[in-house]
């Protein structure tokens, strides 16, 4: 790709990113301001106008880029030059590889080096995948449980309805910011400092434990902070999990492994939300109902009030998430040397080999095909 063209594309991407971050920041400021004051109609209109401006600003960027490019003469059509000999060689290699891969049962427990293309069973039976899946189940299950019960937690702890809607908004905004942070910061740290991505994942899990403990002990106004932490951590976990999967197990079967990794979320949610949090909440609600001397009618909804409704549940969730963080440290140790090396080395070599094959094809006078891009 033309370096100038590439820099231009990156510049446009960053414009979109900054606009989205500005929108998220503005919404968060409005939520905080609205909590402490009452807006009149003019102030509501001004804030709505600002939100609409930020929403439509990307269109202005698109039109500006289109105008900029239309004022420049189109370059000559791009072409792909493919060495016929290299193409034939690749077809032959693919035929051989297909024969080898057809005997999948012979190498399930003998995976290639990290970063190479694992087949599906090699990845699923890998210790690295099992560790990542367990840690993801604990981390995503815990944060999703908190998000799913956020409104009921706020009600049981005595927060007003206005504050509860604020919690939901904070979770959504910080969920997005967590995704941006984990994607960009982990990539920057990896490239510049060789900082292992699994270690970043461990740190996110430990941070989410803080949010769970704030809910468990009901520190005054702590639910605001917990909403920010849990939203951020939930958003940050997914890019890290899927990036680790692509880097350690290769990209050939990434779509299948992506969906397998996604199973950690519903499994963790079922265990920690339904079997732990829901069960303990109902148990405490029944105890409170019996203590008040009120007889429960069939089908009557259970309501629990006080810190005891979720204290034990979130202590268990915090402990499970901490266990996930400790287990993920095993993955950090196992992949430490891999991340300290050049994890993109394989793709660079493939590019160099392709260029070398093209060069050899030209020198040997073999056929070359020119195809319009």
Question: Distance from first CA to last CA of the chain, Å, rounded?
Answer: 12
Phi-psi region of 39 (alpha: psi -120 to 50; beta: other; left: phi over 0): beta
Taking residues 190-213, what's their average pLDDT?
96
Taking residues 215-239, what's their average pLDDT?
94
- List the one residue out of 251, 215, 250 whose CA is nearest residue 231: 215
For residue 99, what pLDDT is reported?
Answer: 47
For Cα atoms 367, 372, 373, give the angle at the middle one, nearest 5 degrees. Answer: 120
CB 147 within 8 A of CB 268: no
Cα–Cα distance for residue pair 190/195, rounded to 1 Å? 5
Backbone φ and ψ for 370, nearest 5 degrees, come out as -110, 120
For residue 325, what pLDDT is reported?
Answer: 97
Residue 249: pLDDT band by 50, 70, 90 thresholds?
very high
Taking residues 5-12, what's their average pLDDT?
68
Cα–Cα distance for residue pair 229/171, rounded to 1 Å? 8
pLDDT tens-digit readout, 106-138? 678 788 999 999 999 999 999 999 999 999 999
Taking residues 28-37, what's their average pLDDT?
76
| 17 vs 163, higher pLDDT | 163
For residue 62, what pLDDT is reported?
Answer: 78
Q: 372 - beta bridge partners? A: 79
- List the one residue out of 229, 226, 223, 225 whose CA is nearest residue 155: 223
Cα–Cα distance for residue pair 43/29, rounded to 1 Å? 14
SS (H, E, C) 27-53: HHHHHHHHHHCCCCHHHHHHHHHHHHH
pLDDT tens-digit readout, 93-106? 555 455 444 455 66
Q: Decide: residue 345, CB within 10 A, 0-12 exposed, 13-18 middle, 19+ buried.
A: exposed
Q: Maximum distance among all alpha carbons in the chain?
A: 95
Question: Is the per-residue pLDDT at 194 higher than 90?
Answer: yes
Task: Say what percent of the chain tops pLDDT 90.
Answer: 50
For the chain, give the mean pLDDT: 83
Q: 83 - beta bridge partners? A: 368
Residue ranges per domain, the chain? 1-75, 79-112+350-372, 116-342
CATH of domain 116-342: 1.20.1250.20
Question: Is the per-residue pLDDT at 221 higher than 60?
Answer: yes
Taking residues 31-54, what's their average pLDDT?
81
Taking residues 12-23, what's their average pLDDT?
79
Give the 3-state secondary structure of residue 300: coil
Taking residues 324-335, what's their average pLDDT?
97
Question: Is the per-residue pLDDT at 234 higher than 70?
Answer: yes
pLDDT tens-digit readout, 270-283? 999 999 999 999 99
Task: Say what percent of the chain tops pLDDT 70.
Answer: 80
- List the one residue out of 265, 273, 275, 313 whose CA is nearest residue 132: 265
Taking residues 191-216, what's their average pLDDT?
96
> What Å distances lie between residue 155 and 35, 90, 166, 255, 282, CA to CA?
17, 63, 13, 40, 15
In the chain, where does DSSP find H-type helix?
3-36, 41-70, 84-101, 120-124, 127-148, 150-156, 161-193, 197-217, 222-249, 254-262, 264-269, 279-291, 311-340, 345-363
Question: Is the per-residue pLDDT at 370 higher than 50?
Answer: no
CB 199 within 8 A of CB 130: no
For residue 207, what pLDDT is reported?
Answer: 97
Could you write out the DSSP letters of every residue in 95-152?
HHHHHHHT-GGGSTTS---TTS---HHHHHT-HHHHHHHHHHHHHHHHHHHHHHTHHH
Question: Is the per-residue pLDDT at 292 higher than 60?
Answer: yes
């Amino acid at each position: 790709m033309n370096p100038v063209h590439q820099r231009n594309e990156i510049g446009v991407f960053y414009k979109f990113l900054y606009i989205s971050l500005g929108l998220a920041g503005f919404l968060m400021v409005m939520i905080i301001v609205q909590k402490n004051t009452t807006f009149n109609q003019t102030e509501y209109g001004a804030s709505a106008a600002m939100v609409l401006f930020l929403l439509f600003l990307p269109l202005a960027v698109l039109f500006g880029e289109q105008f900029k490019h239309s004022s420049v003469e189109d370059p000559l059509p791009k072409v792909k030059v493919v060495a016929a000999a290299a193409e034939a060689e690749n077809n032959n290699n693919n035929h051989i590889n297909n024969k080898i891969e057809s005997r999948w049962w012979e190498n399930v427990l003998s995976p290639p080096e990290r970063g190479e293309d694992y087949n599906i069973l090699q990845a699923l039976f890998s210790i690295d995948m099992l560790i990542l899946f367990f840690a993801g189940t604990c981390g995503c299950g815990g944060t999703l449980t908190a998000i799913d019960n956020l409104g009921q937690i706020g009600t049981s702890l005595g927060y007003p309805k206005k504050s509860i809607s604020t919690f939901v908004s904070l979770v959504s905004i910080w969920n997005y910011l967590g995704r941006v942070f984990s994607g960009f910061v982990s990539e920057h740290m990896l490239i510049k400092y060789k900082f292992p991505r699994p270690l970043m994942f461990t740190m996110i899990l430990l941070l989410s434990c803080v949010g769970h403990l704030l809910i468990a002990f009901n520190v005054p106004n702590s639910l605001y902070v917990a909403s920010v932490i849990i939203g951020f951590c939930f958003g940050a976990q997914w890019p890290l999990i899927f990036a680790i999967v692509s880097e350690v197990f290769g990209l050939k079967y990434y779509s299948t492994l992506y969906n397998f990794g996604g199973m950690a979320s519903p499994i963790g949610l079922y265990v920690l939300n339904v079997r732990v949090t829901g069960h303990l909440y109902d148990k405490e609600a029944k105890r409170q109902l019996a203590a008040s001397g009120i007889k429960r009618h069939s089908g009557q909804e259970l309501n629990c009030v006080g810190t005891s409704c979720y204290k034990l549940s979130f202590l268990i969730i915090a402990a499970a998430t901490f266990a996930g963080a400790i287990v993920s440290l095993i993955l950090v140790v196992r992949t430490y040397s891999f991340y300290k090396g050049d994890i993109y080395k394989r793709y660079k070599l493939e590019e160099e080999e392709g260029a070398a094959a093209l060069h050899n094809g030209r020198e040997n006078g073999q056929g070359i095909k020119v195809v319009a891009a």
